Amino acid sequence: MKERQRRPHNQLKDAMRAYLATLEGGHASIAEIKLAVEPTVGLAPDSSYRSALQDERYFERVARGVFRLHG
């Protein structure tokens, strides 16, 4: 049985924060975020994106499935 590879702690969250910062206050859907960061972090399940986006210290939900940087 192949063991699942874990990515470095906060790698996905950091990549999403970096991408959203390039939008200068703009927002993006989860699909857009995933498309933008996948080349950097590799494949990750949708649940990982949804889970990371729940961190209200960094992300703000503006509509269903749409987020921007908090602040």
| CA dist., res. 24 & res. 38, Å (int) | 20
Q: 47: number of CA atoms within 13 Å, CB side?
A: 0
| CA dist., res. 46 & res. 25, Å (int) | 23
> Residue 9's pLDDT is what?
74
pTM of the model: 0.86
**Please, which pLDDT band fits residue 2 given cuts at 50, 70 and 90?**
low
Contact yes or no for 47/30 (Cβ under 8 A): no
Q: Is the pLDDT of residue 4 over 60?
A: no
Mind listing the pLDDT tens digit for each residue in 37-60?
999 999 999 999 999 999 999 999
| 3-state secondary structure labels for all residues of 24-60 | CCCCEEHHHHHHHHHHHHCCCCHHHHHHHCCCCCCEE
